[in-house]
């Protein structure tokens, strides 16, 4: 069958592009009549530019990136919408072995506990400041990224001011391990496999992970040029169905070996299949021989991982405001909310008869355990979705959330 729809998509070499890659390579796109062309890019800026000028119809994007485009934070932006999320979790905070030794001396344990690790890091930072040493330097992949916001959230909740007490720089993910090994940075927050890469090299230690800072939290999305989506609604629907099947395939433990081998290919990540396994199993080598299995470390499909919750968009928006990237206004907030499009997700998947969330937004951090929210016939489980500091984000009470001044957890 000749493909009815030609779609050009860009991606960055990160494991969470897997759903797009599987859609193309395992044949889910072809089955929906979509001829999907994937182009690997070298920077998020290139992805943004190529979406804007029409080289790409859609792309693998950082969750906050389309919001940043729509509120005008980036040059050459175009209206971009998010009808599909590429997964939950998957990031780690990795520190140099030297920094880890310093944190361990202040009580950090290889248990990934964000509160304990953060407390130790705070003590070390104050000790360094008293000794007149330079602030520690952390790297994230992009200013408008889940990585930047979760690193800052974690540090602030642990009583560390990320804008004053440390320095945050931007480093492309494939360069993180080298920068850490060379001592140009002391730590970083990035997606896999770029954390395990440092652990395997013996130069890094995973201090904590996104899946413990905020359980089942949003990460990458499919960003679509709005003008294209409006002109080609059937192509978009077909692609979303293909992505749904691809995501289900990626989540199935029976396919881990095949998926790891696929992502290991030079045209995707170009790293050994063994390095792709930690994100798939959640079983992480932390460094120094310590190992731990993290529940829901990365979910490409489970727990409604592909649903573009408006509460996720709004949480990203609050972090943009919190860290001074955008001024809070009703207009900006509406732009952020309208960026994520659960209506398009639902419309595309409805013919499949699968379980779909009934609401467009949820109170984040309210579920302390996995909770069935089954709609008629089909079942769906959400959560746990808690923030490690116990805070709740209610998308209907954004002003209250933004009014919080003291984010530090009470010290025990």
Partner 1 sequence: MIRKSLTVLVIDENHIRASIIEAGLREAGHEQVTVVHDVAGIARRIAEIEPDVIVIDLENPNRDMLENMFQLSRVVKRPIAMFVDRSDQASIEAAVEAGVSAYVVDGLRQERVKPILDMAISRFNAFSRMARELEEARSELEDRKLIDRAKGILMRSRGLSEEAAYALLRKTAMNQNRKISEIAQSLVTAAGLLDPGES
Which parts of this chain interact with partner 1 (CB under 8 A)? 42-46, 49-50, 52-55, 73-76, 141-143, 169-172, 174-175, 184
CB 385, CB 366: distance < 8 Å = yes
Query: In terms of CB distance, is 105 or 170 closer to partner 1?
Result: 170
As a 3-state breakdown, the chain gives helix, strand, coil percent values, each rounded to 5, of 40, 20, 40
The sign of the torsion formed by the CA atoms of 170, 175, 178, 181 equals positive
Distance CA(371)–CA(153), nearest Å, equals 25
Query: In terms of CB distance, is 43 or 293 closer to partner 1?
Result: 43
CB of 11 to partner 1, least distance (A): 14
3-state class (DSSP) for residue 161: coil
CB of 20 to partner 1, least distance (A): 20
CB of 149 to partner 1, least distance (A): 14
Cα-based distances in Å from 349 to 237, 243, 258, 303, 345: 8, 10, 26, 16, 6
CB of 331 to partner 1, least distance (A): 21
Distance CA(25)–CA(194), nearest Å, equals 23
Query: In terms of CB distance, is 33 or 172 closer to partner 1?
Result: 172
Query: In terms of CB distance, is 267 or 368 closer to partner 1?
Result: 267
Distance CA(239)–CA(234), nearest Å, equals 9
CB of 400 to partner 1, least distance (A): 29
CB of 72 to partner 1, least distance (A): 11
Cα-based distances in Å from 214 to 99, 113, 125, 183, 295: 23, 12, 23, 29, 12
Strand ranges, E, within 249-361: 283-287, 290-293, 298-299
Query: In terms of CB distance, is 44 or 301 closer to partner 1?
Result: 44
Query: In terms of CB distance, is 103 or 185 closer to partner 1?
Result: 185
Distance CA(109)–CA(94), nearest Å, equals 14
CB 349, CB 241: distance < 8 Å = yes
Distance CA(272)–CA(343), nearest Å, equals 39
Query: In terms of CB distance, is 56 or 340 closer to partner 1?
Result: 56
| Pair type for strands 220-225 and 204-209 | unpaired
CB of 65 to partner 1, least distance (A): 10
CB of 172 to partner 1, least distance (A): 4
Distance CA(8)–CA(59), nearest Å, equals 8
Query: In terms of CB distance, is 241 or 322 closer to partner 1?
Result: 322
* 273-285 as b/e: b if 16+ CB within 10 A: bebbbbbbebebb
Distance CA(333)–CA(313), nearest Å, equals 9
Query: In terms of CB distance, is 159 or 174 closer to partner 1?
Result: 174
CB of 221 to partner 1, least distance (A): 17
Cα-based distances in Å from 75 to 52, 234, 363: 10, 30, 33
Query: In terms of CB distance, is 9 or 409 closer to partner 1?
Result: 9
CB of 183 to partner 1, least distance (A): 12
CB of 31 to partner 1, least distance (A): 30
Alpha helices in 93-232 (DSSP H): 97-105, 114-130, 146-157, 176-181, 196-201, 210-213, 226-231
Distance CA(96)–CA(152), nearest Å, equals 18
Query: In terms of CB distance, is 45 or 359 closer to partner 1?
Result: 45
């Amino acid at each position: 069958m000749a493909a009815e729809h030609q779609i050009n998509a860009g991606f960055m070499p990160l494991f969470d592009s897997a759903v797009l890659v599987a859609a193309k390579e395992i044949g889910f796109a072809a089955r929906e009549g979509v001829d999907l062309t994937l182009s690997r890019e070298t920077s998020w800026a290139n992805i943004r530019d190529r979406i804007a000028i029409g080289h790409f119809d859609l792309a693998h994007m950082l969750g906050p990136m389309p919001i940043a485009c729509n509120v005008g934070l980036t040059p050459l932006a175009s209206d971009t919408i998010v009808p599909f999320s590429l997964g939950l979790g998957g990031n780690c905070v990795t520190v140099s072995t030297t920094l880890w030794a310093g944190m361990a001396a202040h009580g950090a344990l290889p248990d990934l506990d964000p509160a304990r690790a953060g407390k130790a890091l705070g003590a070390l930072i104050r000790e360094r400041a008293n000794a007149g040493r330079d602030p520690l330097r952390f790297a994230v992949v992009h200013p408008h990224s889940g990585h930047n916001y979760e690193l800052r959230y974690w540090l602030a909740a642990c009583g560390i001011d990320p804008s004053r007490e440390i320095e945050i720089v931007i480093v492309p993910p494939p360069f993180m391990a080298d920068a850490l090994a060379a001592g140009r940075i002391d730590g970083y927050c990035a997606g896999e496999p770029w954390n395990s890469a440092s652990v395997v090299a013996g130069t890094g230690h995973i201090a904590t992970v996104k899946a413990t800072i905020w359980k089942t939290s949003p990460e990458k999305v499919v960003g679509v040029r709005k003008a294209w989506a409006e002109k080609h609604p059937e192509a978009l629907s077909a692609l979303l169905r293909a992505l749904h099947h691809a995501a289900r395939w990626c989540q199935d433990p029976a396919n881990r070996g095949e998926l790891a081998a696929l992502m290991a290919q030079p045209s995707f990540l170009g790293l050994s299949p063994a390095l792709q396994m930690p994100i798939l199993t959640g079983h992480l080598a932390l460094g120094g021989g310590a190992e731990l299995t993290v529940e829901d470390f990365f979910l490409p499909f489970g727990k409604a991982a592909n649903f573009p919750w408006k509460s996720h968009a709004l949480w990203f928006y609050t972090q943009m405001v919190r860290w001074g990237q955008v001024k809070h206004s009703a207009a900006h907030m509406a732009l952020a909310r309208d960026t994520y499009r659960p209506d398009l997700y639902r419309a595309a998947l409805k013919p499949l008869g699968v379980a779909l969330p009934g609401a467009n937004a949820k109170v984040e951090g309210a579920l302390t355990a996995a909770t069935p929210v089954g709609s008629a016939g089909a079942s769906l489980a959400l959560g746990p979705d808690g923030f490690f500091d116990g805070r709740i984000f209610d998308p209907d009470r954004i002003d209250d959330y933004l009014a919080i001044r003291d984010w530090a957890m009470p010290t025990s």
